[in-house]
A and B are shown apart, each in its own frame.
Chain A
Amino acid sequence: MKRKIYFIALSLCTIFFTGCEDFLTDKPESVLGQVDFYTTPIRINQGIIGCYAGLANIQKDEWMYTELRSDNTCQNQTGSSDTHRITQSDIDFFRISSSLPDLRDFWYKFFQNISNINAVLPSVADNTYVSNENLRAQYEGELLFLRGYHYYNLVNLFGDMFKITKVIGPNEAKKIPRSPVLEIYNDIIIPDLKKAANKLPSTYPDTELGRATKWAAKGILAKAYMMLGGSDNLKLAKKELEDILTLSPHDLLTGTGAYANIFSTTNEMNKEIIFAVRYKGGSSGIGSPFWSTFAPLGSGNQFLKVGNPLGYNSPTYELMNLFNANPNDQRIDACFKVWRKSSTVSVPYISKYIDPSISKPQQGENDWIVLRYADIKLLYAEILAQDGNFASAHLPLNEVRERAGLTGIGPFNSEEEALDAVYAERRLELAFENHRWFDLLRIAKSYNNPDKPMEILRKHTFETDWDILYSKFNPIQPPEVRFFIKERLLLPIPQAERDSNNELEIPQNPSY
């Protein structure tokens, strides 16, 4: 009997100790880990595609922190107690709170993508994974382009920025301070975009359209230089712009209805478009929300085929008046429309992102154009205005005006006159494309007056739109002049980001 027991005891122990470590090591079946994942060309490509998807994710919210804050659009349901609308009013009127969950979410999306870019980059740099030199250069260029572009946006929206160039863990993150804007430009934005411009191909086959090209990198690089300002940087920017204007396959789209055609869902990636964030409508889950969110509130399915129109990002009356000052402008209808809701109520809405065939709520086909040829033309005019060539600044400007069906202007007699004309034209030509905010930031530099952007915004909000949107009605919280200060050109750093670091004191932007 005793032997029997020993036998049982022994066999139990054996089963236990041999089986156990194996038994406790779980090989996930439907879950992949990030470490050591990007080890084949296919997987690396999938990683890069995922980073483009990350860009598409950021782009969905960008209008709220650029266009909405500019004088182009507003939250026009001033009496609504809907949380989203109150949030949008707060953003619009520069009284945004650093604890706003939406802001934190927007911030998160940037760093999510930066982290993903940093996870794929080392595998691209290592030539053991992708042997094809050209392909490797392209992959590296795409990732660097995206990272450079994200940081360009981050420093312009939030100021001093965390420098993240590799995948980091929870404790490492707490040791990273905010680096000065200039350092981010010098260490990340300029070198990333420069390298990208060198490595990226000029064109792609039809099936690959949408990937970043050399010209996309050069365009953003030029914008970065221009944002830095100063004659040296303008010179560098001019070079990049000239490259695009002379060497790239891009050009202005012309012909009847050309302007509207740029944005058509059936004419995507046309020759005017240098870089766009791609969305696909239908059930694939990678559609764009723009038409669903911009279609006029209360219009049911009159304009928007499925889902609820939200009426966000509504054009300001000040901008619509500018457009209407010139009824011949063929861009008007392609930019905004006014829905006559009733005999007394008119609802304006953005018409640049109409998807007539939308089949699923929030899943539109419209791409978001980040960089197009007309933008480059006008940037070029902006540089000519400033580098002593203001007399010829009207030339690229008029090419854009001509397509809009407008008469030419110029030549200009002074730098200021030229600048005024260029910024006015940029506002109309690029309306609702999230460029106005960055233009306003550059205006501070171009006119050498840091208060100028807020002066413009204050004037446009309180002098023109006030009467129509706020004074007559009972808005929940009308805009207040005291928030229209130059410090508030920067968004606050999300409070939670500061709170979750118990090692470093992360400074908040002034006035928040």
Chain B
Amino acid sequence: MKKSKHKQFIKKRWLILFLLGISTSPIFSQIKISGTITDINNEPLIGVNITVKGTRIGTISDFNGKYSIEVPNKQSIIVFSYIGYKTIEKSVPSSGQLNVIMEEETQSIEEVVVVAYGTQKKSHLTGAVSSLKNEKLDEIPVSRVDKALQGKIAGLQINNVNPEAGAAPKIRVRGMGSISASNDPLVVVDGFPIPDGLSMISMGDVQSIEVLKDASSAALYGSRAAGGVILITTKSGEANKPKYNFKMYSGIRNALKLPDMLSTEEYTALLFREAEMRKQDPTVNGIATETMAFNKITEPEKAAYLILKYYDDQPTDWVDEGLRNNGTMQSYQLTVSGGDKNLKYFVSGNYIGEEGIMRNSTYDKFTFRAKVDAKLSKIATIGVNLSPNYSHQQRPAVDLTDYMRFPSWLPIRHNEATAALTGKVAGDYAQPIDFNGISISGIGYDNEAWHLSGVSVWGSTNQNPVSIRERTRIFTDDYKFQGNMYLTLNLLPGLQFKTSNGVYFLFREYNEKEQTSANKAGNPNSLTRQLTSHTELLSENILNYNKNFNEHEFDALLGYTMQKTGNKYNAIVGTHFPDEEILSFNYESELDLNETTSNYRTETLVSVLGRLNYSYQGKYLFSGSFRADGSSLFYKGHKWGTFPAFSAGWRASEEKFLKKFEWLSNLKLRFSYGLTGNNNIPPYSYMNIINTSNYALGRVNDLVQGLVSNDAALGNPDITWEQTAESNYGIDLGLLNSRLNFTIEYYNSNTIKLLLRQPAMYITGHQTYWNNIGKVNNKGIEVELNTTNITNKNFTWKTIANFSSNKNELVDIGGKEYEDNVGERGEVYRAIVGQPSIQYYGYKTNGVYTTFEEVKAAKELKDENGNLFIYTKYTPIVGGVKVLNLNGDNKIDTEDRTVLGDPFPNFTWGMTNTFTYKNFDLSFLIQGVHGVDIINGNVYYNEQLRYNKVYTKNRYVSPMFPGDGKTVYSNTTPGNDLVLTDYCIEDGSYVALRDFTLGYTLPDHIVKSLKINNLRVYFSAENLIYSMASDYRGINPEARRTSGNYNSPLVDGYQRGAFPLNCTFTGGIDITF
């Protein structure tokens, strides 16, 4: 721990006086040493610490850099230390004169950063690269590397769309460049592009993570780099004695926020309370009425109340039924590393076990890694890196929405009473449909006798979620392996050849077992098995040349790589097994031919690449690179794309005229420009594909095979690479001996030749085709701040903060003005030229109609020709939304829709503060996302509007009791689909205390007595504090639908019945010996 220079200085001043006062004293008849301390520019250094090693003797240099010290004997070692400078040790000179020149310690600047195909000194970087070292990242209780990165890097947006155990977040580097092809960044693990690298790596193995953000840094990965590149470097062995490290943590997790639902009892009470209010309301009393009864309770609702009162043992808390309390989270990791100068090794094993908030949500992962590097001779070095991995994920069969929709009167299983009522068997699962057409009598809520006959209490044909969950099992087993071998040959001084060859494969087995009637009454039991195997073969051959002479530094690279990806998918579905215990393919009685499919495909990529870095005097930096990629995804003549890049930097702080400013430790200006590509489209998009299309013929109806082109995609042989051109401007600033580091980047990227899945005219017989058309622009700024606020002997405080803001604009979409995409409820996502690529498009409302006069007036509206106003959508009704007529014509129809919001945040930020006090350390990350609009799909469901308190509180009751004038009365708006209006647009902004870690490292003397090197215990929490926007009505502002319609890059921002956020507490221990 370094001491604060200033405080030290004050303390030492007393020491100087003391030393001056006693220096002539004969007691100290020792060797006197004196001299001057300067920096390399011959400027005197003030306040340098001078100590004698192994003693308490010490002094500091004065204002002229002069010092004087007495050492006990000739063997003494004198240590010169000064913050921001390299510590120097000197032995006692015979002359007694010792002048010292101290060199600036450039540790924080001389850091080495991993870049595409190599490493680079951070000081020489000219592109936008964010680097994150693994310092305690592995203590964050998450099961995937990507989740640990949330909020840590400017420009890297990690959106935890699904809090399910083991589920993947959505990752974007600098916004959304492509609108049809995938925007996922390329993940490269130890030089090996791996599609799901972020899930297979164990956090404990990670040395550092680098994000290549601008095009010039990423261009060397040319082809697939348009979505940015994330480089993961794993730890390696060091020449040392064997070092053992054991880490474990374990803890529990619970839901942070749950939906607040009305029970049947509460709901009935609400209806009667509202009836009383209406009675007091003269406007309602005036209009009497079949259509406007005081009490809007319906027969089914009365029946529900009676069932609860007379038949149920107790109300069912469905939300609670879906959740697991105190889910566990645990991780164990053992690593051993060591070696000598010729042979180094690193071996690790890790287990992570996670239980989700929802029942039946679990994730277990076992990861192993063995890394060996051997120096065979002066010329050759060889190494292997092997990492097998197994994970097992169980997924719940039902979403929380389904629990939220179920009313509390419905029991999970029939008891004797409900069985008698419905004619079902006691003990069987109770389904809504069982309560159709029942007759029931009793004393009602109002103490009147209620007689109801032939009531269908709740018309839903859905099965109760517990019965679905308990009768369905969904498992995914992933077997992964990454293996890589390299050979490096130092052919000539400075010339190195490296060949690296590897394989990555994933074998995934997905099983879905459904018992009889699990999902729908009468469904046969079934087993769905999907087998996926994915292989990547990669060969990279790189020639590297380094040459430094005078003040010139050259670093050149030339290489070619070949990659082959194989994807095999087999699915088989069997039904009608003999019983529920035997769901195995030897015993099915029917195979579902429709679902039994197979898909084999390969993809190849060949690349030639080169790079030249040049620096003059370490101040003027230039870099140029190119990559040419050939891809099998494109048709003859369109396979190749070239991706050049250029960048330059000027380390202004190295110039003489700035050197004199001592407070300025680093100033660098950077500019870069480059092209990256994207070929993330389905294979064979260049041709019309033939599919099976069977038919039945004959008197007994035999299946006959047919083969025609029924694929939605129309082949387009002309498609080729999508290209993103990006320029990046950056400033790096280091102040006060690099105690304050500041980086700001501005970028402007244009994606051209956009791989756009365009709608085809259907008269072609197809729906879409891939085309290189359209443009998207992203521009934004990123700020990273890294400060050492306080350091002294016992206490340090460091802050790392980042801020980023991106603006997305659709510049061209195939010559059209806009394109609409729809979600699961028909809500429209419009891509409009000149605006963000995704915007919600629907009706604007202005509260609800609160009075009858208002409704009457609206219905009697006439245009200037005396024609009545037409409501083709959203008929006016009290308690229903008031949809605005935006275009001023005489009807409310689709022409009145407008932009309601977009899913892009205005800005995001993260701030990590780390404190250490003596042996304690505390760090926490606060992370925020602001200005995100989301569509809350819950309003589509009547049950939500009725039972969810966020929709019943303050709702419209009558003209005198209009609630807040904004909340609709649930039952009055059938068909007036709220999902298409701004009623469901909510603010998805949040600020979260994302990670929090408090640790204690055992003092050295205790550790030594235990015969270990280091021991640390810590407590860690995730989402300890979480603040959501006030108008947000859901429970998890980060959740998004990502499957089905939401798979398209142009459909985003919709949530419905999301899983709750996790709040996790863990305790851990970390031992090195």
Contacts and interface: CB of A to CB of B under 8 A. Distances in A.
Contacts of A394: none
Given A54-B693, A81-B942, A47 B436 contact: no
Interface string B488-526: 000110010100000000000000000000001111100
Contacts of A97: 894
A174 B762 CA distance: 10
A4 B543 CA distance: 14
With most chain B CB atoms within 10 A of its CB, the pick from A29, A37, A50, A286 is A50
Contact of A81 (B523, B759, B975): B975
Interface residues of B, number: 95
A308 B461 contact: yes
Contacts of A236: none
Interface in B583-634: 590-595, 598-604, 606, 608, 630-632
Interface stretch (B222-230, B238-246, B764-772, B927-935): B764-772
B73 interface: no
Nearest to A478: B875
Contacts of B716: 169-170
B662 interface: no
Contacts of A342: 437, 453-454
A285 B697 contact: no
Interface in B277-304: 291
Contact of B683 (A9, A26, A80): A26
B600 A29 contact: yes
Contacts of B10: none
Interface in A457-483: 474, 476-477
Contacts of A83: 825-826
Contacts of A327: none
Contacts of B708: 47, 50-51, 53-54, 116, 119-120
Contact of A280 (B560, B696, B977): B696
A307 interface: yes
Nearest to A174: B761
B454 A345 contact: yes
A19 B523 CA distance: 53
A208 B593 CA distance: 22
Interface in B731-769: 758-767, 769
Contacts of B601: 26, 28-31
Contacts of B894: 97, 99
Interface stretch (B440-448, B528-536, B684-692, B842-850): B684-692
B794 interface: no
Interface stretch (B53-61, B698-706, B1011-1019): B698-706
Contact of A33 (B687, B699, B974): B687
Interface stretch (A122-130, A192-200, A249-257, A494-502): A494-502
Contacts of A173: 760-761, 763-764
Contact of B688 (A26, A33, A305): A33
Interface in A236-274: 268-269
Contact of A284 (B543, B593, B684): B593
A50 B523 contact: no
B454 A115 contact: no
B575 interface: yes
Interface in B214-240: none
Interface in A52-89: 52-54, 56, 79-81, 83, 86
B100 interface: no
Contact of B560 (A16, A29, A34, A49): A16
Contacts of A206: 698-699
Contacts of B705: 46, 49
Contacts of A56: 695
Contacts, number: 272
B814 interface: yes
Max count, chain A CB within 10 A of own CB: residue among B492, B702, B894: B702
Contacts of A86: 975
Interface string B957-975: 0000000000000000011
B696 A115 contact: no
A391 B702 CA distance: 46
Contacts of B32: none
B779 interface: no
A211 B520 contact: no
A119 B632 CA distance: 26
Contacts of B564: 23
Nearest to A363: B594
A164 interface: yes
A111 B763 contact: yes
Contacts of B695: 49-50, 52-53, 56, 210, 278, 286
A488 interface: no
Given A28-B683, A34-B689, A49-B695, 18 more contacts: A5-B491, A5-B492, A52-B697, A54-B693, A81-B975, A115-B709, A116-B765, A167-B765, A168-B764, A169-B764, A174-B761, A210-B696, A211-B697, A278-B696, A308-B461, A342-B453, A499-B759, A500-B761
11 contacts: A4-B491, A5-B492, A49-B697, A50-B706, A53-B694, A81-B975, A169-B714, A283-B591, A284-B694, A285-B595, A477-B975
Q: What are the 7 A-B residue pairs with the smallest beta carbon separation, nearest first?
A: A115-B765, A342-B454, A285-B594, A50-B708, A50-B706, A49-B706, A476-B975
